Chains A and B, each alone.
Chain A
Amino acid sequence: MYKLSLQRIVMILAICLLGIFFAVPNFVKDPKTTLPSWWQPVNLGLDLQGGSSLLLEVDMKTALKDRMQTLEDSARAALKDARIRYQSISSDEDGVKVKIESTNSRAKAMVPLRKMDDGLKVTDNGNDVLVVNYDEPALNEIKRKLIDQSIEIVRKRIDEYGTNEPIIQSQGEGRILVQLPGVQNPEEVKVLLGKTAKMTFHLVDSSTTVAEAKRGKLKSSSRIIRGIEGEQYVIVRKPAVGGETLTDAGVSFQEGAPAVSFKFNNLGAKKFGEVTKNNIGEQLAIVLDDEVISAPTIQSAITGGSGVITGNYTSESAQELALLLRSGALPAPLNILEERTVGAGLGADSIEAGIFASVIGFIGVVVFLVLAYGLFGLFTTITVFLNLFLMLGALSLIGATLTLPGIAGIILTIGMAVDANVLIFERMREEVKGGRSIKDAIESGFSIAWGTIIDSNLTTLIAAAVLFYFGSGPVRGFAVTLSIGIATSMFTSVTVTRLIIAAWFNRYKPKTLPI
């Protein structure tokens, strides 16, 4: 007799029930509040639920320039310590260039220059110039760290801004993808991400004035910098205290006007205390993103580890600056490469259109199958319907994101699922025609068609894998949907169909195939 082991039947039914179980939240109203977190509907992509997506690029060039600037400062110090005379020193994003005319000194300078940092290499470019830069692995490490830090800061800022379930992930070389469900106008977020918010404290160089400095009376350790109101200052290049030692910032009121208050960690507090103690009467410039936002004169040693920035702040702009200082500085500026916003209305319309098209398509397929295959067509209908549930269940379980093309992928899977059944049924027909008994024909229908089904589905899976690898956003969602659909459709069209036909065969003992 045509038999399946009990174990097998139980397993098949268990998988089906499990699939349906995980698909259920998709039909529940307001599942977020009523259902546990492990039992949730499928995530909707931004194209379906509405929201904003930003593709950011870490500005490596500027970041490397900064890095090399720091290296240039260390090079000055290192050469001074080693008592090596140099003619000039400069830097750009490719490295630090030190001009030393004496061949002897040039050779002597190699070692201290290389020892400034790990992964440095020093080359003589032949024109009396030594070029200091990072070797390939060190440079990659620096870039990787830059991206990681940037993502960290972006995440902090977005979290502080307070949007619902943001997704922040790195994408490709130096890119960061930010997805903000529900955000309809990302202007505020863009403002937040558009600032590096690098804050440092520098002593104002009182040995010269701006006018004198412009005429050339400027120490190499100082530089001219613009202030927020267009004025200019001469400040010491090396920060007295770095912004990385800030731990907190908030809005406070000074004489009724909004101001930004900040706190240092222990190290910063100690440094800040020393600097203020040793430089009473001097000006301390607070520099934000290469602009002096205020330069108060130090009245007394500040040892409490906190301070206040006053200026022309409104409560909004004070709030914004406090947020930026709290979340930390971006190691490099971010450029917005791509911005996509879908309104909630369009998303809802897309879902509606997708569901309508699916239902019509499904009904059409059912009618056609029953007309073409009669009873077996009805069996197929059951399995295709079951497949829809299993797909939805699997997508919900793994927390996949359903996009508009993904809905199309589901519809397409209906076609794929039916194909497996068609292959099986056609084979059965042939076997009967070849003189086999019904039972044998059913058996070989399944077993012979299996190879073909595997081949044809695996090739589609290859296409889906390539899509996943190269695609992004909605396309990736589509690839996931398609792959899951291939897997579940093989299960329903082969395994479940077989179970149904076996049950039918055992119950009715048919003499002919109804196809």
Chain B
Amino acid sequence: MTMLKFITKDTNINFMKARYFTYILSSIMVILSIASIYLKSFNFGIDFSGGVLMEIKSEQPINIEDIRSKLSVVKLDELNLQTIGTEGKELMIRAQADNANDEAQRKAVAEIREILGNNYEYRRVETVGPQVGDELKMAGTIASILAILAIAIYIWVRFEWQFAIGALLGLFHDTIIVVGLLSFFRFDFSLTTIAAILTLVGYSVNDKVVTYDRIRENLKKYRKMPQEELINKSINDIFSRTILTGVTTLIAVIPLYLWGGDALESFSFTILSGLIIGTYSSIYVSATILNLFDLRAVHHQEEDNYFGTIG
């Protein structure tokens, strides 16, 4: 009756065997990401860097050079012009104001408006002071780390500390690699990007918890099974679920990346790459790493469902 039977078929893949290879792969990806962050930094949006951002739209295609020469009289550092959209009728004006204070930024915006006049539709006008940018950077970093730690504590309470460590490793792995990708591909790094990172943390931990739930269940069910085999079996048990959920969410998010518009581009890229990397790390980082610990030694008798059952 179902057509994609191959997905829901039982699998028996030896995930554990590949783990040394994937540890190396993960390490390389993490190192490359850190290198990219360190060397290339981020393409910070004005949320973080402070500055001026304007988006204008015209009836006719916009000539960048023309605008550039017109705006050359405005006192701003690093004037950056870029057409957006497919028809070339929209232009993004960005100016980094390294020394400029809030007042100078607003004056620049007023001047630009005056020079360009009323022939353009002003679709977006934003100025962010340098002070706010630094604060937001701080808040964003704290938020991400705090979220990961809060989640780890939850897992520690619900499972065991070994699981919390596995989840923590996996989450940092995912976050660092995704952030590395954002840095490498020069995606705009803004407040919504932070939201996307925290969302991917939420999704990724979701995946890891499902795997851990199964490992815990199997630990009780198969008391004699060697641990490595047991972890491998658990991953296989829920493999069809992992793929189904992953693919469904991908199907939901891909249109967002393709057609969601400019403002959501870096947001949906973060979620998209996070989905793939998170699914990978649930198996190859957070689950396989558990084999370093003796799970049976600490696994005492526990209630299966703290939250009871429905019915």
A interface list, Cβ under 8 A from B: 47, 55, 184-185, 187, 190, 335-343, 345-346, 349-350, 353-354, 356-358, 360-362, 364-365, 368-369, 371-375, 377, 404-405, 408-409, 411-412, 414-416, 418-419, 422-423, 426, 429-430, 433, 443, 446-448, 450-452, 454-464, 466-467, 469-475, 478-479, 482, 494-495, 498, 514-515
Given A375-B1, A415-B245, A475 contacting B192 (CB threshold 8 A): yes
A411 & B123 in contact (Cβ 8 Å cutoff): no
B251 & A346 in contact (Cβ 8 Å cutoff): no
B1 & A514 in contact (Cβ 8 Å cutoff): yes
B151 & A462 in contact (Cβ 8 Å cutoff): yes
Instruction: Please name 22 pairs of A and B residues whose Cβ atoms are closer than 8 Å in the assembled complex, sorted by A.
Output: A185-B113, A338-B129, A341-B125, A343-B121, A343-B123, A356-B259, A357-B256, A373-B8, A374-B3, A404-B264, A422-B244, A429-B8, A450-B307, A452-B213, A462-B147, A466-B143, A474-B191, A474-B192, A475-B192, A479-B195, A482-B199, A494-B310
A451 & B213 in contact (Cβ 8 Å cutoff): yes
Please name all residues of chain A whose beta carbon is closer than 8 Å to the beta carbon of B230 when the two chains form the complex.
none
Please name all residues of chain A whose beta carbon is closer than 8 Å to the beta carbon of B245 when the two chains form the complex.
415, 418-419, 422
**A373, A475, A478 — which one has the most chain B CB atoms within 10 A of its CB?**
A475
Contact of B132 among A338, A358, A450, A457 (CB under 8 A): A338
A343 & B210 in contact (Cβ 8 Å cutoff): no
Stretch at the interface among B21-29, B71-79, B233-241: B233-241
Please name all residues of chain B whose beta carbon is closer than 8 Å to the beta carbon of A447 when the two chains form the complex.
305, 309-311
Given A452-B213, A462-B150, A470 contacting B142 (CB threshold 8 A): yes
**A47, A372, A423 — which one has the most chain B CB atoms within 10 A of its CB?**
A372
Docked pose: A380 CA to B207 CA in angstroms: 20
A371 & B4 in contact (Cβ 8 Å cutoff): yes
Given A372-B7, A372-B8, A455 contacting B125 (CB threshold 8 A): no
A338 & B127 in contact (Cβ 8 Å cutoff): yes
Contact of A443 among B110, B113, B311 (CB under 8 A): B311
Please name all residues of chain B whose beta carbon is closer than 8 Å to the beta carbon of A409 when the two chains form the complex.
199
Residue B201 interfacial (CB < 8 Å): yes
Q: How far is the CB of A173 from chain B (nearest CB, A)?
A: 10
B125 & A346 in contact (Cβ 8 Å cutoff): no
A408 & B268 in contact (Cβ 8 Å cutoff): yes
Contact of B203 among A364, A422, A460 (CB under 8 A): A460
Residue B119 interfacial (CB < 8 Å): no
**B126, B142, B304 — which one has the most chain A CB atoms within 10 A of its CB?**
B126
Q: How far is the CB of A189 from chain B (nearest CB, A)?
A: 13
B248 & A418 in contact (Cβ 8 Å cutoff): yes
Give the A-B contact count at a CB cut-off of 8 A.
265
Docked pose: A414 CA to B126 CA in angstroms: 32
Residue B131 interfacial (CB < 8 Å): yes
Residue B88 interfacial (CB < 8 Å): no
Residue B271 interfacial (CB < 8 Å): yes
B198 & A463 in contact (Cβ 8 Å cutoff): yes
Please name all residues of chain A whose beta carbon is closer than 8 Å to the beta carbon of B244 when the two chains form the complex.
372, 418, 422, 426
Number of interface residues of B (CB under 8 A): 83
Interface positions of B from 126 to 166, Cβ below 8 Å from A = 126-129, 131-132, 139-140, 142-143, 146-147, 150-151, 154-155, 158
Please, which residue of chain A has its CB at the minimum distance from the CB of B205? A459
Residue B95 interfacial (CB < 8 Å): no
Docked pose: A412 CA to B201 CA in angstroms: 13
Please, which residue of chain B has its CB at the minimum distance from the CB of A444? B309
A408 & B205 in contact (Cβ 8 Å cutoff): no
A416 & B206 in contact (Cβ 8 Å cutoff): yes
Docked pose: A466 CA to B154 CA in angstroms: 14
Which 7 pairs show the lowest CB-CB distances between chains A and B?
A415-B249, A460-B202, A463-B202, A353-B261, A470-B143, A447-B309, A346-B123
Please name all residues of chain B whose beta carbon is closer than 8 Å to the beta carbon of A357 when the two chains form the complex.
255-256, 258-260
Interface positions of B from 55 to 107, Cβ below 8 Å from A = 55, 57, 102, 106
Docked pose: A460 CA to B203 CA in angstroms: 7
A466 & B147 in contact (Cβ 8 Å cutoff): yes
Given A337-B132, A371-B4, A423-B241, A451 contacting B263 (CB threshold 8 A): no
Docked pose: A447 CA to B308 CA in angstroms: 8
A350 & B261 in contact (Cβ 8 Å cutoff): yes
Given A343-B121, A456-B206, A471-B143, A371 contacting B3 (CB threshold 8 A): yes
Given A368-B251, A412-B249, A55 contacting B122 (CB threshold 8 A): no
Docked pose: A365 CA to B254 CA in angstroms: 11
The interface bits of chain B over 246-278 (1 if a CB of A lies within 8 angstroms of the residue's CB, else 0) are 011101111110111101100110010000000
Please, which residue of chain A has its CB at the minimum distance from the CB of B213? A452
Q: How far is the CB of A179 from chain B (nearest CB, A)?
A: 14
Docked pose: A203 CA to B72 CA in angstroms: 51
Given A343-B121, A372-B2, A408 contacting B255 (CB threshold 8 A): no
Docked pose: A369 CA to B249 CA in angstroms: 11
A349 & B264 in contact (Cβ 8 Å cutoff): no
Given A451-B213, A459-B154, A339 contacting B106 (CB threshold 8 A): yes
Contact of B131 among A337, A345, A356 (CB under 8 A): A337
The interface bits of chain B over 274-297 (1 if a CB of A lies within 8 angstroms of the residue's CB, else 0) are 000000000000000000000000
Please name all residues of chain A whose beta carbon is closer than 8 Å to the beta carbon of B248 when the two chains form the complex.
365, 368-369, 414-415, 418-419, 422
